Amino acid sequence: MKEERPWGWYEVIDQGDRFKVKNIEVKPGHRLSLQKHHHRTEHWIVVSGTAEVQLNESRQLLEKIKVHIFRWDVCIDYQILVRYH
């Protein structure tokens, strides 16, 4: 079931005791709220457009159809902004 948000929507595709898979669509020019996590691994695949991710103070562009893996063992703040669609 899709959950609508001001920035777009998401739906949970699958989940288990230690994982959750979501399909997330962020509207062009919008951003997800700032996230903070400890000891986490995330795999992101941009399927359309280009996304910019901010990890603490660093920013990088994520290209489509590449798998982007982020793993951290310390507290990190992150935010995703869709730049192009």
DSSP letters, 24-80, are: EEE-TT-BPPPEEESSEEEEEEB-SSEEEEEETTEEEEE-BTSEEEEEESS-EEEEE
Given a cut of 90, whether residue 79 has pLDDT beyond it is no
The rounded distance, in Å, linking the Cα atoms of 14 and 62 is 24
| 4, amino acid identity | E
Sign of the CA dihedral with 38 first, then 65, 5, and 61 last = positive
User: What's this model's pTM, rounded to 2 decimal places?
Assistant: 0.68
| 47, amino acid identity | V
* Complete domains list, the chain, with CATH: 3-84 (2.60.120)
Judged by DSSP in three states, 16 sits in coil
Q: What is the pLDDT of residue 33?
A: 79
Q: What is the pLDDT of residue 85?
A: 47
Q: Tell me the per-residue pLDDT of 44-56, one tens digit each, with 9 for 90 and over.
A: 778 877 888 887 7
